Amino acid sequence: MIMFKSILREISWNRSCFIVTIIARSLRNNGGEIALTIPRNVCIRNFSSQSHKIVKARKYVVVNHFVNEAKPTDLKLVEEELSPLQNGEYLAEAEYFSVDPYMRPYVRRYPLGITMLGTQIAKIVESKNPAFPIGKKIVGNMGWRTHTIVNPKFKDRVFQEHPYLLPDIGDLPSSLFGGNISSAVIYQMKPFGRVAVCGSISSYNTDRSSLPKCTILQPILSKHELRMEGFLVTRWMDRWNEGIMQNLQWLREGKLHYRETVTKGFENMFEAFIGMLRGENIGKAIVQA
């Protein structure tokens, strides 16, 4: 008696995995046992529904919370194999990473084992979401990793939306560094001047029990009737896109000028990070993957 049977087999080729459907013919041999034979030209490959490309991502994992100045051993570069995309998801490959001071204090809020915090510009290289087609570029808080599977239905754990870049500070000093340099600058301000305080980089690598001593500011604040206000980017989360579009307009009109320090190579993320905290960069610190 001759019977036909459909058999599913998984095969790998050129870093891709396929589910193959094979039509096999069974018959009884002289010993009464069933043997399978596979006729030529009857192998059907199901490429469209069950094939996927194997992608391996590299990422930096936090293994120690930073104490004083961050050390290379506080992070570990690991590799992980990503699962196939599900409907609604897309795969983004990082092109540029932003290196920012907030990473230093914020990472203490999360348990060890997380991917190091950070924002990146990435290109969509695979997609099962028509709203995010292949070739488009995105900005996201995916952390220090080369590839990310993104599901737009889920918000990231650090920023519920993208951080807002405040465009309306004009010629006001923006105090990021703190310490004696900040105090010296404030003492040179004109009457009724204003200061926006959005960080204190000089103290990030210092133990909180031994913060640096600096010149007191009350005399100059009262004498020149200065106004100093701190702010967190999270206050303007609902205006993120407005800030992006306004900065883009000013760039195109030639009204906004900037400088960057670009470090090449994903393997040099830590060097760019610690260099930024030491003040070695001029302008925005960026890593090109």
Residue given tokens 């915090």 in the structure block = 117
Dist CA 280 CA 277 (whole Å): 8
Any residues with CB less than 8 A from the CB of 107 and at least 6 apart, and which?
62, 65, 66, 114, 116, 117
- Check residue 4 and give its pLDDT: 46
Alpha carbon distance 92, 139 (integer Å): 10
Domains of the chain: 55-173+259-288 (3.90.180.10), 175-257 (3.40.50.720)
The pLDDT of residue 90 is 93
Distance between CA atoms of 86 and 141, rounded to whole angstroms? 21
Among 49, 60, 135, 154, residue whose Cα is nearest residue 91 = 135
CB 219 within 8 A of CB 189: no
Q: From CA 239, how far away is CA 161, in angstroms rounded?
A: 10
In a 13 Å sphere around the CA of 42, the CA atoms on its Cβ side amount to 12
Degrees to nearest 5, angle at CA 81 with 104 and 289: 50
Q: Which residues of the chain have pLDDT under 50?
A: 2, 4, 6, 8, 10-29, 32-50, 158-177
CA–CA separation, 121 and 140 (whole Å): 7
pLDDT at 34: 41
Q: Specify the pLDDT at position 23.
A: 47
Residue 248 C-alpha from the chain's centroid: 21
Interatomic CA distance for residues 97 and 289, integer angstroms: 7
Under 8 Å CB-to-CB from 251, ≥6 apart: which residues? none
pLDDT at 208: 67
For the stretch 220-260, pLDDT in tens is: 889 999 988 888 888 888 898 898 889 889 999 999 988 89
Rounded to 10 degrees, the C-alpha dihedral 229/165/272/56 comes to 140
| CA distances from residue 147 to 25, 122, 126, 213 in whole angstroms, order as listed | 44, 9, 11, 43
